[in-house]
């Protein structure tokens, strides 16, 4: 259907705009479903593990674990993230970012490639 939004991030942004939801309201709903995040344990950072954004949307997969960080892979490129940046909640591994912010970070990191 023309004009339909299939991207979950775009759908959320549109819904937030239409309903004038505050970030606090949206965050409270997410926190109830996903629970409180805690620092990820080293044994949770494994190749192939899915990484979500802070709202529970899948943003990357762990490609490699190095002593100085974790390389995550997305359809648009790879980026190394410090190990202590990862959290874990009921939804699994996560980074404290939105999908859109993370996509911008990956694009910048891979711009010179």
Q: Residue 80 sits in a domain of what CATH number? A: 2.30.30.240
Whether residue 56 is contained in a domain is answered as yes
Which of the pair, 14 or 53, is modelled with greater confidence? 53
Whether residue 70 is contained in a domain is answered as yes
| Residue span of the structural domain in which 45 resides | 8-109
CA 28 to each of CA 24, 33, 56, 66, 86: distance values in angstroms, whole numbers, following the listed order = 6, 9, 13, 34, 20
Check if the beta carbon of residue 94 is closer than 8 Å to that of residue 37.
Answer: yes
Whether residue 1 is contained in a domain is answered as no
- Average pLDDT (104-109) is 92
Whether residue 83 is contained in a domain is answered as yes
CB-count exposure of residue 70 (10 Å: 0-12, 13-18, 19+): buried
Q: Name the domain count of the chain.
A: 1
Whether residue 2 is contained in a domain is answered as no
Take residue 111 and report the two structure tokens written for it.
């711009």
Whether residue 104 is contained in a domain is answered as yes
**pLDDT for position 112:** 73
Residues 19-58 pLDDT 10s: 444 444 444 455 567 788 999 999 999 999 999 999 999 9
């Amino acid at each position: 259907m023309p004009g339909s939004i299939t991207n979950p991030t775009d759908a959320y942004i549109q819904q937030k705009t239409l309903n004038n939801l505050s970030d606090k309201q949206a965050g409270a709903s997410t926190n109830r479903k996903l629970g409180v995040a805690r620092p990820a344990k080293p044994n949770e950072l494994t190749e192939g593990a899915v990484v979500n954004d802070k709202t529970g949307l899948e943003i990357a997969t762990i490609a490699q674990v190095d002593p100085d960080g974790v390389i995550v892979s997305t359809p648009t490129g790879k980026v190394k993230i410090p190990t202590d940046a990862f959290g874990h909640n009921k939804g699994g591994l996560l980074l404290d970012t939105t999908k859109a912010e993370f996509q911008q970070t990956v694009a910048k990191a891979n711009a010179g490639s």
